[in-house]
Amino acid sequence: MLSGCSSLVGNKTPLPNYAKLPDFSTEKSAGLDDISIAAVSLIGTTFKWGGNTPQSGFDCSGLVVYVVKNTREKNLPRTTSELGKYGKSLALEAPSPGDLVFFNTLGESHSHVGIYVGSGRFVHAPTTGGTVRLDEIKNPYWARRYTEARRVITP
């Protein structure tokens, strides 16, 4: 079973903040820039629930697994909820490009995931009918739903 990778469009009940946003001005490189560069190269790829290749399309966790496997030859768990248990939580530390960022879009703290690319931005596969895109974590929709960043690759 795949964990959700979609956003709730038109959700009338705002979700509570689960984490304070990090101070993105303090971010430092963790030597994972190749992961963020690979993620940016996939912007525009079609979203597909359960998708895990550029040819078939991606859901949020499929995008993460594909990028990390193809840049670092590292197998990660396939679901968003399992990715949320993997690696090290950065707590309030600013993520580095290549770290994963998690959001509560379906009532669970790890129901959506993206790849942080720097300056408060992340690449993700957000919704059915959409494409992989670049968004700002400080966008009110994502800021309210941000839960944490995790480092899943040790530099």
Catalytic positions, please? 60, 112, 124
CA angle 137, 18, 10 (to 5 degrees): 65
DSSP assignment string, 52-69: EETTTEE-HHHHHHHHHH
As a residue count, the chain comes to 155
Nearest to residue 119, comparing CAs of 140, 98, 101, 136?
A: 136
Distance CA 138, CA 104 (A): 15
